[in-house]
Homo-oligomer: A and B are copies of this chain.
Amino acid sequence: MSDQNTYAGLTQLGQKADLPASPEQAVLERVPNPQADVDYCVRFTAPEFTSLCPMTGQPDFAHLMIDYVPDRWLVESKSLKLFLGSFRNHGAFHEDCTVMIARRLVELLEPRWLRIGGYWYPRGGIPIDVFYQTGAQPEGVWIPDQGVPPYRGRG
């Protein structure tokens, strides 16, 4: 069912790709869903997300988890990695940035459903988490909890 020609038009897979300078310059790519006749969920866990605080210029860090139910397209995983890496020198607030990533993926993939969890590292002792999904979970599709343990402080 998988077909390598599927990947013929991709520009980044198997290449040495530079980190894009900004989210705008990052090129998210997609490939046909080889199992498009059934509903299933794909989860990406990205524990290495970093952006800049728009107020102070200092780095922010987050653990991101993305779940989606593909329709005709899958996101090509290397382009996703480069897209996430492109926030490295970009300023964005936590709430805005998390939802924005989801929206870029929705625009590209037109998935049946998508959600993102942004688990941000604490600043001032109080971490912020942001949870967004495109709507109610589709019926009959299996989408487990993300199961990230809560922040505990110390001790």
Contact = CB atoms under 8 A, between A and B. Distances in A.
A147 B88 CA distance: 29
Interface in A102-155: 115, 117, 119-133, 135-136, 139-155
A10 B43 CA distance: 36
A99 interface: yes
B150 A65 contact: yes
Interface of A: 1-2, 4, 7, 13-14, 16, 18-19, 33-35, 38-48, 50, 54-59, 61-63, 65, 70, 74, 77-78, 80-81, 84-85, 88-89, 91-93, 95-100, 115, 117, 119-133, 135-136, 139-155
17 contacts: A2-B92, A4-B54, A45-B127, A45-B150, A47-B125, A48-B61, A48-B153, A61-B154, A63-B154, A77-B123, A77-B124, A77-B128, A119-B154, A144-B148, A147-B147, A151-B154, A152-B152
